[in-house]
Amino acid sequence: MTMRLVLVCHGATSATRRAAFPADEPLEHPEVVLEPLRADVTFRTPAVRCLQTAVALGVDAVPDDGLRDCDHGIWRGRTLDEVTADDPLAVHAWLTDPAAAPHGGESTRDFLGRVGAWLDALPREHHRIAAVVTPAIVKAAVVHAVLGTPASFWRIDVPPLSRTVLSGHPMSWTLRLPVSP
């Protein structure tokens, strides 16, 4: 049977507003009330911003370490412009070589592999699944679903509170567009 996975990006934070590498900031407006999710099971990234978004969605989402955000090491909390000004060669390597991790964290290749493994290990007994996640998780899931290359990761923009739907089953996902409420 076909599964439906709704990936909900967390709400806006100071890091999303500043285009900074996240450091587990809280939501800028945690009091917002959102349209509830309908799912058999809801997971979430362990980050506080995803917990707050799940609360705003009215769901009791299970934290899942497999959905943790990409580890950006020493770049956490800094903007891309700041890092580029300090070390343009490191940023160039990070953006062009999927195996590079000049920040001391997780490479793009490793991150994509981890998110793809999470998708492909989802329990088949659930048909409607939701996950409250970070923009990077959504991007990695889309790359995996459409069999994209690591370079395509950089070509996807995920706004706060957006919903992305994947359908199918582990090892065979389809991106569903457009998504309507």
pLDDT of 81 above 70: yes
**Number of domains composing the chain:** 1
Amino acid in position 173? W
What per-residue confidence (pLDDT) applies to 34?
A: 83
Phi, psi of 56 (to 5 degrees): -65, -25
First-last CA distance in the chain: 23
Residue 47 lies inside a defined structural domain of this protein: no
Residue 104 lies inside a defined structural domain of this protein: yes
Model confidence pLDDT, tens digit, residues 167-179: 998 889 999 987 6
3-state DSSP percent of the chain in helix, strand and coil, to 5 = 35, 20, 45
What per-residue confidence (pLDDT) applies to 115?
A: 98
What per-residue confidence (pLDDT) applies to 180?
A: 59
Phi, psi of 110 (to 5 degrees): -65, -40
pTM: 0.94
What per-residue confidence (pLDDT) applies to 37?
A: 86
What per-residue confidence (pLDDT) applies to 162?
A: 94
Residue 28 lies inside a defined structural domain of this protein: no
Residue 82 lies inside a defined structural domain of this protein: yes
Residue 168 lies inside a defined structural domain of this protein: yes
What per-residue confidence (pLDDT) applies to 36?
A: 84
Range of the structural domain that residue 106 is part of: 69-126+147-181
Residue 29 lies inside a defined structural domain of this protein: no
Q: Cα 117–119–121 angle (5° rounding)?
A: 70
Whole-number average pLDDT of the chain:
94
Model confidence pLDDT, tens digit, residues 143-169: 999 999 999 999 999 999 999 999 998
Residue 36 lies inside a defined structural domain of this protein: no
CA distance 11 to 21: 15
Residues forming beta bridges with residue 128, ordered by sequence position: 4
- The more confident residue out of 91 and 34 is 91
- Per-residue confidence at 15, pLDDT binned at 50, 70, 90? very high
Three-state secondary structure along 128-168? EEEEEECHHHHHHHHHHHCCCCHHHHHHCCCCCCCEEEEEE
- Per-residue confidence at 181, pLDDT binned at 50, 70, 90? low
Residue 23 lies inside a defined structural domain of this protein: no
Model confidence pLDDT, tens digit, residues 32-73: 878 888 899 999 999 999 999 999 999 999 999 999 999 999
What per-residue confidence (pLDDT) applies to 178?
A: 74
